Structure 1
Amino acid sequence: MTIWSKLAIAGLAALVPLSASAETRVTYKSASAGTSYYQMGVQIAEAIKAGSDGNIIVTLEESQGSVQNVMEAAVRPGNYVFTTPPGLVGLAQAAKGPFDGKGNPKFDEIRALFPIPSLTMHFIMSTESGVTDFAGMEGKNILIGKGSFGATEGAKYLELFGLKDKVNLADVELSNAGAALKNGQIDGFVTAGSWPAPNVIEAAAGTGVTLLSLSDDQVAATKRTRTVIPAGTYAGQDKDVVTTSLDVVAFATTAMDDETAYQMTKTFWEQKEKMSADAPWWKGVTTDMLASIPGKIHPGAQRYYSEKGVALTDAQK
């Protein structure tokens, strides 16, 4: 081998770490595998890779829930991105609720990037039950699940609407809701997820269902965001359904550099239209949802929103 060949090989070897270092790696912690939010994480990872020409690689991690996601923000270094309702970040920073006695100054370094599809409440009744409004749920077998946002919120709504102890809560796993509805084991179920929710699609396709709509007074009583599920979202749904939702946001921390946060945010919004074509739940995501974020937005993301003329509040800067 000539000296020139050796030099050429050495030069190529020297380039390898340079090209590897040009690739930014991001950890994205989302939800349990099989859920709509885990599927969203897969889509975001693919979209960021495609939109950045492979310069940003997102590794998706399964999660047991939003509280865990927030807790890990205190110990994860570098480019850690996670999803959670903004209110949980506020509770962590105040060491309240599930974070009581678990306060950490690192929580103050959490910064928002962009919103993702909201957790939307669905109240599903079989057509055979004849139920078309909340009052009609009295005496019926209803599945609300347990341990999830949907279960907690569902129980709250039953109490708010005067149905506490007036419905029979079914002891069935929420994952079996479609089958239980079809065989008559339950009359209806409550679930929270982005629309169209996979378990509601399954139930609507396998059994005639009615989605219950909330009145304006009922929406106000919940203190949640008014949300409309458009007609035709589910099989047999011939009119808009008014319900409520809880906003969900992708967060990072100040450990992420401004350029990475800028590129992540920019690429997300540029790829959203394509993601919407693949999964309709992205269609409801708009920059208007940034108003639901009470805390600070990452400076890198702020730069993108400034370029697009999206107004942010002083508290978000």
Structure 2
Amino acid sequence: MKFFKTTAALLALSALSATAAGAETRITYKSAKTGSSYYQMGVELAEAMKTGTDGEVIVTVEESQGSVQNVMEVRARGGDYVFTTPPALVGLAQGGKAMFEGKGDAQFDEIRALFPIPSLTMHFVMSQSSGASDLAGMEGKTILLGNGSFGATEGEKYLELFGLTDKVEIADAELSNAVAALKNGQIDGFVTAGSWPAPNVIEAAASTPVTILSLSEDQIAQSNRTALTIPAGTYAGQEADITTTSLPVVAYATTQMDDDTAYALTKTFWESKAKLGDTSPWWNGVDEALMANIDGKIHPGAVRYYEEAGIALDAAQQ
């Protein structure tokens, strides 16, 4: 009889363990290259999810080679996949356009948004000694763009768009050398894109007097990018708001993710955002206004949270 009681107890313990294990939800979060600010954001989000759900949601951060790869992997992933990308890329994938031409897949139509994360924000950083106070003031100056990054590609686009391509000298150096080169007078300025406040811009402003250029309304309109304001006081010596352009970035899942998981991820993100901002100020750039940058549908589980929180969604998002 004792044997049967012991066996029953072990079976009960085993069932309890299985239930506990089953309550734990595991998510793969794919964002960017290791060492980038967006990979670090993923690490911070993973910790926030674990803490905010008392360990019920465990997020594993996976290195990515970029946003296009993140979208493409939707074809082979399941309901535990969360990834980040600009909303524009989701639209291109669903339409089979540009880099997705000939690579269409029905799974692209199942992509659903969860919440916005810090936008890729353009920074045009000039030494005060250069005298530049707007984009036109870059004429005759030496500018570092770097290679291969969104900021470099976007910087080249702006130089061409505003007639500066043949009027500036492009420094042959990596963006990682920008702060030292600016401080030593080897360059007059550099162009970079990242979440704000950007670490390399913080370093530059702290080490030498700089002017971070604002774009006019007309220039922002011509860029076909989203306007963004960097508040005064974000960087050392910055006394006024900076108006610039940005590329929104959003965390996505697919309809394969169950509604309760999408709800938990979205709710935990917004409820943890203030604490995230205390750790890394780039999270302070995320607010409800960024919801307007989400083109297309939001996951039904996330919609449930937004309705509870009183956050308005447009018809296309629901």
| The two structures share one fold, judged by TM-score above 0.5 | yes
The equivalences for 1:163-182 within 5 A come to 163-182=164-183
CA separation in 1, counterparts of 2:308 and 2:228? 29
- My pick for the range that moved more, 303-312 or 85-94, is 303-312
**Gaps (5+ residues) in structure 1?**
none
CA separation in 2, counterparts of 1:103 and 1:301? 26
Contact residue 121 and residue 195 of structure 2 kept, 8 A: yes
Paired position in structure 1 for 2:278: 277
CA separation in 1, counterparts of 2:7 and 2:296? 56
Q: Once the two structures are superposed, what CA deviation does each residue of 1:102-136 show, in whole Å capped at 9, x if it has no partner? A: 11111111000001111110000122322222122
Paired position in structure 1 for 2:269: 268
Contact residue 116 and residue 286 of structure 2 kept, 8 A: yes
Paired position in structure 2 for 1:246: 247
How far apart are 1:237 and its partner, in Å?
A: 1.4
The number of residue pairs the alignment matches comes to 317
Paired position in structure 1 for 2:294: 293
Q: Aligned to 1:250, what secondary structure does the other structure show?
A: strand
Q: Note if 1:151 corresponds to 2:152.
A: yes
CA separation in 2, counterparts of 1:271 and 1:213? 31
**Gaps (5+ residues) in structure 2?**
none
The equivalences for 1:64-83 within 5 A come to 64-83=65-84
How far apart are 1:6 and its partner, in Å?
A: 4.3
Return the letter of the residue paired with 1:173. E
Q: Aligned to 2:121, what secondary structure does the other structure show?
A: strand
Paired position in structure 1 for 2:100: 99
The equivalences for 1:189-228 within 5 A come to 189-228=190-229
CA separation in 2, counterparts of 1:162 and 1:30? 34
How far apart are 1:88 and its partner, in Å?
A: 0.3
Q: Note if 1:237 corresponds to 2:235.
A: no
CA separation in 2, counterparts of 1:98 and 1:175? 28
CA separation in 2, counterparts of 1:228 and 1:291? 15
CA separation in 2, counterparts of 1:128 and 1:285? 33
CA separation in 2, counterparts of 1:306 and 1:10? 42
- My pick for the range that moved more, 294-303 or 217-226, is 217-226
Q: Aligned to 2:229, what secondary structure does the other structure show?
A: strand
- My pick for the range that moved more, 16-25 or 296-305, is 16-25
CA separation in 2, counterparts of 1:62 and 1:84? 14
Q: Aligned to 2:75, what secondary structure does the other structure show?
A: coil
Q: Once the two structures are superposed, what CA deviation does each residue of 1:3-57 show, in whole Å capped at 9, x if it has no partner? A: 2444433432333222111100011111112222112111111111111111000
CA separation in 1, counterparts of 2:116 and 2:214? 25
Paired position in structure 1 for 2:315: 314
Q: Once the two structures are superposed, what CA deviation does each residue of 1:130-165 show, in whole Å capped at 9, x if it has no partner? A: 222212211211111222221121111111221012
Q: Aligned to 2:76, what secondary structure does the other structure show?
A: coil
Paired position in structure 2 for 1:48: 49
Return the letter of the residue paired with 2:152. A
CA separation in 1, counterparts of 2:78 and 2:45? 21
How far apart are 1:72 and its partner, in Å?
A: 0.9
Return the letter of the residue paired with 2:223. T
Contact residue 87 and residue 250 of structure 2 kept, 8 A: yes
How far apart are 1:97 and its partner, in Å?
A: 1.3
Return the letter of the residue paired with 1:88. L
Return the letter of the residue paired with 2:153. T
Paired position in structure 2 for 1:61: 62
Q: TM-score with structure 2 length normalisation? A: 0.95
Q: Aligned to 1:247, what secondary structure does the other structure show?
A: strand
CA separation in 2, counterparts of 1:7 and 1:105? 48
CA separation in 2, counterparts of 1:41 and 1:200? 21
CA separation in 2, counterparts of 1:90 and 1:181? 38
Q: Aligned to 1:164, what secondary structure does the other structure show?
A: coil
CA separation in 2, counterparts of 1:181 and 1:5? 74
CA separation in 2, counterparts of 1:68 and 1:150? 19
Q: Once the two structures are superposed, what CA deviation does each residue of 1:170-213 show, in whole Å capped at 9, x if it has no partner? A: 12111221122222222111111111001111111222211011
Q: Note if 1:108 corresponds to 2:104.
A: no
Return the letter of the residue paired with 2:159. L
